[in-house]
Structure 1
Amino acid sequence: MSIEKFIQDGVTGWMSAHGEHSDIVMSTRIRLARNLTGYRFPIAFTEDDAMAVDRAASGVLLDTNQPNYSYMKMSEIPSLERLVLIEKHLISPHLANPERHGAVLLSEDETVSVMVNEEDHIRIQCIYPGLQLEDAYKKADEVDNLLESELPYAFDESFGYMTSCPSNTGTGMRASVMMHLPALTITKQIERIIPAISRLGIVVRGSYGEGSDAPGNVYQVSNQTTLGKTEQEILVDLGNITSRLIAHERQSRELLIAKSRLALENRLFRSLGTIAYARLLPNGEAARCLSDVRLGIDLGIIQDVDMSILNELMIFMQPGFLQQYAGTELSQEERDVFRAKLFRERLNIANAPASLEEDREE
């Protein structure tokens, strides 16, 4: 399977809007960090080390007896296509650097991503829609066991799996949920909740991880440390925090309806009008409006809009995907114009004046 399939098909499994509590929890992700004995860690390895690790890891998953995986070497993929893979959460920004000799193996349904020569020799990622911590971990563990049966993992009886970053030593597992928390953000409760959560060993970041912001009120909630706890303990702790956040978000939504329904409805329908009819749509405004419309659908205020379309548009609106879809590099203003046209067409607005196919030919 070629890179074009993963680039051109904007829809990926976690966007399906299915799974438990999918109105708040957009996706669940499990990442496992692993290194191999006999090779320097990526922070200090040589090109020969990198190539040997690549051959070893990819050789296991590309075996004909295994499910279909597609192999992609970062140095052979144009920068724009690497950006699209990042926007779809299929690879990390760290892996996208072509000078690091990185590669990725992607399962056909895009639920499993095995990154080679990222921060560690191997990063196994499994991402599912909604809240599915146990199922996502089970799948990641299955891939991990397969690799470990063929490869010599760096493991210490006292410290667990050895990793490039000390904070990952132990289980090497990062479990995270991507959550849409508009009511907590609107009421500013999120500002006091985040510090409180961090004291419990859970970190809250933007949707693209460390150093990213939270456009569209989408947050990534994950475990902070992996040493001293088992995988199941980490899953239970994150599950408990996630359940509490879900409860707080639902209470905040009810409070907004009870105390400010008219103002809330006005905000939500204004946002729907913006993404339905705007001719210029900056990325930040698009994210805010999508968040509002998503909230309106969850509350039953806005109807006849498919939630999975909104999940798709979260990816479609990103700079890399827009330019890939347009077939050319776009300035910021051109992206804002193209983004608005894309939203109108995807939302099936009958009086949109021009199709995207016509725009691409201009």
Structure 2
Amino acid sequence: MSLDFETMAHDCGEWLRASGPESDIVISSRVRLARNLTDFPFIARASESDREQIEQILHARIEALQAAGKLPAATPGGELHYINVGKLSEVDRQFLVERQLISREHAEAEGARAVVIDGGERFSVMINEEDHLRIQVMHSGLDLETAWKEINQIDDLLEEQVNYAYNDRLGYLTACPTNVGTGIRVSVMLHLPALVITRQIDKVFRSLQKINLAVRGLYGEGSQAMGDFYQISNQVTLGMPEEELLKKVADVVPVLLEYERQARDFLIRESQETLHDRVSRAFGILRTAQTISSEETLHLLSSVRMGVNLGLIGDVAIPTVNKLFVHTQPAHLQKLAGMELDQSDRNIERASYLRRHLNGGKPPAGAN
């Protein structure tokens, strides 16, 4: 079934709805698996014919599983969407990146490639990214265990349909050596504004690196931290079972949550006026700006999100703020506007969109 990007743009996936555990700080939990087919070279060495055959084989196998009603994520969200990424416009590809459903590398690559997305946006499979298969499951809040159970079931179903590249000594074979073994990447996306404000964030991240956990930005590997969002994940997969890697990430998250909450308590206790001013100014700018960049919007929304969670702002709900983080990104704005926009026009449209959603559809007091 084809995917209507315009309709999709008005909604948001389950992982953004702040419905999961610890969702004041943990935006989402994600488990990703890297897999390759044994009869084909890795993508970096695959010919265009190889890539087309891989895409066709996996398309057929996934459609067969869907038709049999076996894919667990296909039922709650309704249908699965099979999307030929190579045939999408640049805006549509960027839209899927902003939605966390494909990687930047997948969007910018060449040749035959696709993605399968379930209706609830909890489950997606990238075909012909760095590996032949990149399976991911995302959930709102801190819910790694459920995400692992779902992706393990999906992986087992796919492994019944195709032959994975596997070595008895090394485990699953992958294009990048850091994924060899289990091929698993366990990650949580955290909102840590108080640790940034109190300048403790670098110390925390140095501690994480000592225990082989990676820290990345909003869009994963190679991306910068925007809006005080950080992804924490395992760095290696070889020599450790999946459950142990899952536990390693899951065990450190409560510690990070405690650090962030202590930093928020410190800000309220020691500099409440300064914190309230920061939050109020951010909210005021977002409600009245006539033009605003994506970067500034993320920065200001971060302060507003913290302010809502601390009870300093009562006029907006966290799911609305979460949605604004995504809907004010360039591709989403253009989909919502129904047209392509240059940067200047996007900045104007972004400000208009924020005013509408943060003022209940009414102009702010004192506005012309």
Per-residue CA distance 1:192-212 (angstroms, 9 max, x = gap): 111221110101110101111
Distance 1:349 1:250 in 2: 33
Distance 1:252 1:244, change over 3 A: same
Query: Deviations along 1:274-314, whole A, 9 cap, x unmatched?
Result: 11111111112111111111101111111131111111111
1:229 paired with 2:240, answer: yes
Report the equivalent of 1:86: 97
Distance 2:51 2:118 in 1: 22
Partner of 2:43 in structure 1?
Answer: 42
User: Is the contact made by 1:35 and 1:163 (CA closer than 8 Å) also made in structure 2?
Assistant: yes
String of CA shifts for 1:180-236, please: whole Å, max 9, x gaps.
Answer: 000000011001111221110101110101111111100011101101111111111
Residues 298-309 of structure 1 mapped to structure 2, 5 A cutoff: 298-309=309-320
CA distance in 1 between partners of 2:300 and 2:261 (Å): 20
Alpha-carbon separation, structure 2, partners of 1:113 and 1:58 = 13
Q: Which residue in 2 is equivalent to 1:117?
A: 128
Superposed displacement of residue 98, structure 1: 5.2
Q: Matched residue of 2:43: which SS?
A: coil
1:329 aligned to which of 321, 334, 340: 340
1:306-325 alignment runs, 5 A limit: 306-325=317-336
2:330 & 2:265 partners in 1: Cα distance? 35
1:142 is aligned to 2:143: no
Distance in 2 between residues matched to 1:145 and 1:217, nearest whole Å: 36
* Distance in structure 1 (CA, Å) of the matches to 2:2 and 2:9: 11
Tell me, in whole angstroms, the C-alpha distance in 2 between the residues paired with 1:226 and 1:146: 22
Mapped partners of 1:349, 1:324: distance in 2: 20
Distance 1:128 1:85 in 2: 17
Within 5 Å, give how 1:138-217 maps onto structure 2: 138-217=149-228
Aligned to 1:2: 2
TM-score with structure 1 setting the length = 0.95
- Partner Cα distance (1:269, 1:47) in 2: 54
Structure-2 residue corresponding to 1:96: 107
Code of the aligned partner of 2:68? N
Matched AA of 1:159: L
Task: Answer yes or no: is the 8 Å Cα contact 2:10–2:336 preserved in 1.
Answer: no
* Cα shift at 1:7: 4.3
Deviation at 1:352, TM superposition (A): 6.4
Distance 1:9 1:151, change over 3 A: farther
Listed one character per residue, the Cα deviations across residues 92-115 of structure 1 (whole Å, up to 9, x for unaligned) are 111113523110011111110000
1:61 alignment partner in structure 2? 62
Identity of aligned residues (%): 39
1:76 to 1:7, Cα distance in 2 relative to 1, 3 A: farther
Aligned to 1:251: 262
8 A Cα contact 1:41 1:121, kept in partner: yes
RMSD, aligned CA: 1.4
- For 2:44, what is the secondary structure of its paired residue? coil
- Offset, 1:349: 4.4
TM-score, length-normalised on structure 2?
Answer: 0.93
User: Which residue of 1 is the match for residue 31 of structure 2?
Assistant: 30
- Cross-structure match for 1:351: 363
Letter in structure 1 aligned against 2:215: V
Which deviates more, 158-167 or 313-322? Answer: 313-322
Q: Contact 1:276 / 1:349 at 8 angstroms: preserved in 2?
A: no
Q: Tell me if the contact between 1:17 and 1:26 (Cα under 8 Å) persists in the aligned partners.
A: yes
Q: Any stretches of 5+ residues in structure 1 without a counterpart?
A: 354-362
Q: Post-superposition shift, 1:73?
A: 0.7
Q: Distance in 2 between matches of 1:144 and 1:274?
A: 46
- Aligned-pair CA distance for 1:147: 0.3
1:273 equivalenced with 2:274 (yes/no): no
Instruction: Compute the displacement of 1:316 (Å).
Output: 0.8
Compared with structure 1, are the counterparts of its residues 157 and 9 closer, same or farther at alpha carbon in structure 2 (3 Å cutoff)? farther
Listed one character per residue, the Cα deviations across residues 142-192 of structure 1 (whole Å, up to 9, x for unaligned) are 110110011101111111100000000011000100000000000110011
Q: 1:119 offset after TM fit, Å? A: 0.2
Task: Give the Å deviation of 1:32.
Answer: 0.1
Q: 1:14 aligns to what? A: 15
Name the SS for the 1:163 alignment partner.
Answer: coil
Check the 8 A contact 2:356/2:363 in 1, yes or no: no
Deviations 1:33-58, CA, capped at 9 Å, x for gaps: 00011101101001221122112212
Corresponding residue for residue 340 of structure 1: 351
